[in-house]
Structure 1
């Protein structure tokens, strides 16, 4: 079985146009030459590839199989050209990355900074979304890769471990003593009815905490909504309310602020963050290298 790339591209043109005439026009070939090439492919295979009718052509089951393989061939050629271009000119491109709040604020900056410093010709288009939206964006091809909680549906995606993320509460020492006098973890339900200091309403973490409160039949009351964890901890120190933040942020700010850290008993407070992609092998080389950097 011997097909050249012209044959494969021509066949795709014919199937996409729905007619041999239309395919010939797209390939800039004469109708006679196009028909001869298609017939030669069918004779080589020993099976018909097209069903011919007055309104055009449609692929047979064998034709459908050829379409799938031809598209894979051209996708692989495109990746080959891109990778060879990378070697010639250095990695170039933009990676579309979506992640949840914890990844964006606590874990991603260091890993991303190192990668960008090593690859000055690669840009990253970064957006924050709740984990389930990140998964959908990657699945739909809106994002090249995502960083999310692996508790969400990861079907049709490849995923790799990134970081372990634990959420904790921060409160004034007096309130912490009241809520957890023995220093043991407390269930979120004991905190849900207190005033809270939260991230802004469009943040992925705020949406996640609201979801957990709804599951308990509660509604979180946020007295103020802020843009970063340092501001939340300052408000907590002033006695405005309780905050729920990633443990690294809580421990860091507890060193310079008069606040106490309260561990949460709930299983959902301990999350495994993962890097997800539709297909690692299908990513451009510069995106693959970013995935490798994040996994490291």
Structure 2
């Protein structure tokens, strides 16, 4: 049997409304046209699909089966249209998002996962930059959204919104020197072998800028380019590490101890370019806020 999608939509509407008249209205057909289509469906099936009563209609067992499968077919057709439409939609410039290394580790992936899934029609270009460079790109119109640090944002006139706290913590292998500690200063952490980020990383730059002139020189056993590697090494006992708390997953083989130093509490802000935001920019900003709240 060959079914017409418009006929299936009509039949589903008739069953749902309990009336051919109401079903016809729901799919914007005249009553005579709808009645003819229903009769044609029954002729094609070779058996009655509806029981006509004084106050409307109800489906026969065969009609109930047809309506159930028709709903599934129509839903799949809608998904098919959406999937193909995402390729045929007119191309548009991707939303440009800039952020520092800390936000890139967890916040940005969470936001992008939700955004790209909910909006197949939009694309995003992401790049990692320190706050001053991110602000420059936003001011010059080369970026649409930026996740920046409060203390480095200065007196910018760009639209800025609070996003989340980003507290630095010391991490190390479970059962090691951090066991039983509720807090620790950087000076105490530096008394032990450490692992750290590369000298050109934004987090390493932040730490070095805020250390007092007489701060102890830490012994770094190795320097690595990303937080994932750093956390893995610390969990394995290679040394202590200073990382953003939000970047640390719950791991049974890892102890976490907050830093006491005043500079260890950083704040992330969401900064927008100074122009009217598009629907795509607004949607991505909303997903960033949702990710920050998790």
Q: When the two structures are superposed, what TM-score results if normalisation uses the length of structure 1?
A: 0.60
Report the counterpart of residue 272 of structure 2 in structure 1. Answer: 277
Give 1:220 shift.
4.4
- Aligned partners of 1:101 and 1:128 also within 8 Å: yes
5 Å-filtered alignment, 1:134-153, equals 134-152=134-152, 153=154
Bigger-Rg structure (1/2): 2
Aligned to 2:201: 203
Write the distance in 1 (CA, Å) between the matches of 2:200 and 2:184: 27
Corresponding residue of 1:239: 237
Aligned match of 2:128: 128
The residue matched to 1:155 in structure 2 has which SS? coil
**C-alpha distance in structure 2 between counterparts of 1:227 and 1:135, whole Å:** 23
Q: Counterpart of 1:119?
A: 119
Q: Residues 99-135 of structure 1: CA distance to partner in whole angstroms, max 9, x if unpaired?
A: 0111110212111111112222322221112223222
Give the corresponding residue for 2:289: 295
Q: Who is 1:72 aligned against?
A: none
| Aligned partners of 1:162 and 1:274 also within 8 Å | yes
- Give 1:202 shift: 3.0
Task: For 1:236 and 1:139, locate their aligned partners in 2 and report how far apart those are by CA, in whole Å.
Answer: 38
Q: Give the RMSD, CA atoms, in angstroms.
A: 2.6
Aligned 8 A contact 1:197 1:235 in 2: yes
Length-normalised TM-score, structure 2: 0.60
**What is the deviation of 1:193?**
4.8
Secondary structure (helix, strand or coil) at the match of 2:120 reads: coil
In the alignment, structure 2 segments of 5+ residues that lack a partner are 1-88
Asked whether the equivalents of residues 106 and 246 of structure 2 are also in contact (C-alpha less than 8 Å), the reply is: yes
Distance in 1, matches of 2:241 and 2:118, equals 36
**Deviation at residue 146 of structure 1 after TM alignment:** 0.6
Aligned to 2:72: none
CA distance in 1, matches of 2:91, 2:119: 7
Distance in 1 of aligned mates of 2:214 and 2:111: 36
* Mean Cα deviation higher: 100-109 or 210-219: 210-219
- 1:145-184 matches, within 5 Å, as 145-152=145-152, 153-172=154-173, 173-177=175-179, 183-184=181-182
1:16-72 CA-partner distances (Å, limit 9, x unpaired): xxxxxxxxxxxxxxxxxxxxxxxxxxxxxxxxxxxxxxxxxxxxxxxxxxxxxxxxx
Separation of aligned partners in 2, 1:102 and 1:236: 17
1:268 pairs with 2:263: yes
**Structure 1 alignment gaps of length 5 or more:** 1-88
CA distance in 2, matches of 1:215, 1:143: 36
Give the Cα–Cα distance (whole angstroms) in 1 for the partners of residues 219 and 137 of structure 2: 30
Aligned residue for 2:241, secondary structure, equals strand
